[in-house]
Amino acid sequence: MWRSSEQEKLCSMLKDVLKARPNIDVVKLQKPGGVVSRNAKEYLYGQSNGLSPHSNVVNFSNLSIYLIGGVPQSPQSALSIGADPIKLVPINVNRDLFHLVLAVSYAKEPDQIIYK
């Protein structure tokens, strides 16, 4: 949890570092009422250190990324007989994936993704 003095110091440092960037404004916002303070270590590792965050480096050429339900969902009654409402659509890795949440599947084949 950040103390007020740490927040002031961080804000001051950011303003100093970014002063040469006219398109960036650093604004210190007051914490609204009802906001719950979080402890970063507890958030990442759990209350009893049971979690262990880590990173893996993987070549994009070794990954297959699919969009599940690639088209807007029609009501079940409007689908053709035998139509699959959960369609997998392969997508290319590009900047459109920034800031998206992806899931990991250990399925060996694409048709197993939904069920594994």
**Which pLDDT tens digit goes with each residue over 7-49?**
888 889 999 999 888 888 998 888 778 877 777 777 777 777 7
pLDDT value at position 50? 73
Answer whether residue 92 shows pLDDT above 70: yes
Token pair 């303003």: residue: 15
What is the predicted pLDDT for the residue at 105?
85
* Per-residue confidence (pLDDT) for residue 15, from 0 to 100: 92
Q: 């003095």: which residue's tokens?
A: 5
Given a cut of 80, whether residue 4 has pLDDT beyond it is: no
Q: Residue 78: what pLDDT?
A: 62
pTM of the model: 0.43
Q: What confidence tens digit (pLDDT) does each residue in 50-80 have?
A: 777 778 888 888 888 988 875 555 565 666 6
pLDDT reported for residue 14:
92
Domain extents for the chain? Answer: 4-45, 60-112
Q: Are 95 and 112 in contact (CB under 8 A)?
A: no
Q: What is the pLDDT of residue 34?
A: 81
